[in-house]
C-alpha cells in the first residue's frame, strides 16, 4: 500500500471542498486505485463537514495535530484526540516540525501518540533533521532519538505511519539527494524494526514533493508514500503526483 497524504496547514474554508471533490473523482476512477490511500488533513474547522462528505469515498480525513490529553480538560483552545475522532477523522499528524518548533517535546508527542491510538486515530508521526543537524552530520542520531523517545513496542504498529520530513526541505523546493534519501529511509526502517520485532510501519517522505520530482522518489522503493504540503492545495498538482508516481 502507498500513501498520498495532503497536509493543508493553515489553508481552507468550507468551499475549498471543491478541491477534494476533484481529487476524489480522479481516485474513484483511477485504475491504480487499490494500490494507494489518500488522506487529507484540513484545519480543525473543516474536519467534521469534510469527514461526513467523504465517508465511504476515496479520501480519508485527518487532523494536523491534537492536544496531549485524552478527552476533556481545562486547556483553552485545545482539541483532544477524543474530540477529533468524534467528528469523523481517522488519522492525525503528530510531531510536524511546525509544532516541534513551537515547543512540542518528546514527552508531549508521546502523550499525543498514546491518546490518539487509544481513541482509534491512526497516527502519522513526523520526524526529520534541521539544516544545522544535517550540516553537522547528526541526521541519523536525531532521527533515532525522535523515534525511540516516542515509539515503543507497546504502541500498535499497525496504526502508525512514519513521515520523514527533513525540516530544510519543507516548503523550500530543496529535496534530498537520491542516494542519501535511500540510505536514510533504510536506516529509519532499521530503527523501527528494532522496536517492533522486525516489522516496520510504512515510511513516507515529505518536503517539497511535486509532480516532477516524484519520478525520482518513486525509484526509491523503500519509500511507501508522501506527505504533501503546498502541492495538496491544488487538485491538479496533487493528482499529477499520483499520476506520475504510477506512470
Active site residues: 96, 165
> Reduced to 3 DSSP states, what percent helix, strand and coil does the chain have, rounded to the nearest 5?
45, 15, 40
- Residue 230 lies near ligand PGA (rule: CB under 6 A): yes
Angle between helices 17-29 and 44-53 (to 10 degrees): 40
Q: Decide whether 126 or 191 has the Cβ nearer to ligand PGA.
A: 126
- Residue 227 lies near ligand PGA (rule: CB under 6 A): yes
- Residue 171 lies near ligand PGA (rule: CB under 6 A): yes
- Residue 143 lies near ligand PGA (rule: CB under 6 A): no
Q: What is the DSSP string of 6-73?
A: EE--S---GGGHHHHHHHHHHHHH-TTGGGEEEEEE--HHHHHHHHHHTTTSSEEEEES---SSSS--
Mark the segment that binds ligand PGA (CB under 6 A) among 47-55, 115-123, 134-142, 221-229. Answer: 221-229
Closest approach, Cβ 192 to ligand PGA, in A, equals 20
| Rg of the chain (C-alpha set) | 17
- Residue 228 lies near ligand PGA (rule: CB under 6 A): yes
Q: Decide whether 185 or 208 has the Cβ nearer to ligand PGA.
A: 208
Closest approach, Cβ 49 to ligand PGA, in A, equals 23
Residue 205 pairs in a beta bridge with 164, 226
- Can you give the binding site for ligand PGA, defined by CB under 6 A? 7, 165, 170-171, 206-209, 227-230
Amino acid at each position: 500500500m502507498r500513501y498520498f497524504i495532503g497536509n493543508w496547514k493553515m489553508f481552507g474554508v468550507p468551499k475549498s471542498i471543491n478541491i477534494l471533490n476533484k481529487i476524489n473523482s480522479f481516485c474513484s476512477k483511477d485504475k491504480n486505485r487499490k494500490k494507494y490511500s489518500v488522506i487529507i488533513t484540513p484545519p480543525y474547522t473543516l474536519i467534521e463537514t469534510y469527514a461526513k462528505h467523504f465517508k465511504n469515498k476515496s479520501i480519508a480525513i485527518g487532523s494536523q495535530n491534537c492536544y496531549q490529553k485524552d478527552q476533556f480538560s481545562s486547556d483553552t483552545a485545545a482539541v483532544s484526540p477524543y474530540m477529533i475522532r468524534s467528528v469523523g477523522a481517522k488519522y492525525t499528524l503528530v510531531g510536524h516540525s511546525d509544532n516541534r518548533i513551537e515547543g512540542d517535546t518528546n514527552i508531549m508527542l508521546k502523550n499525543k501518540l498514546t491518546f490518539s491510538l487509544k481513541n482509534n486515530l491512526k497516527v502519522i508521526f513526523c520526524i526529520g533533521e534541521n539544516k544545522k543537524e544535517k550540516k553537522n552530520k547528526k541526521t541519523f542520531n536525531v532521527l533515532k532519538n525522535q523515534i525511540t523517545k516516542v515509539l515503543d513496542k507497546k504502541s500498535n504498529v499497525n496504526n502508525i505511519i512514519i513521515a520523514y520530513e527533513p525540516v530544510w526541505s519543507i516548503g523550500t523546493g530543496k529535496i534530498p539527494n537520491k542516494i542519501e534519501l535511500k540510505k536514510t529511509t533504510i536506516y529509519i526502517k532499521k530503527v523501527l524494526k528494532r522496536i517492533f520485532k522486525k516489522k516496520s510501519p510504512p515510511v513516507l517522505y515529505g518536503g517539497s514533493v511535486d509532480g516532477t520530482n516524484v519520478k525520482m522518489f518513486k525509484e526509491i522503493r523503500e519509500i511507501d508514500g508522501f506527505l504533501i504540503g503546498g502541492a495538496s492545495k491544488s487538485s491538479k498538482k496533487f493528482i499529477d503526483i499520483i499520476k506520475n508516481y504510477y506512470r
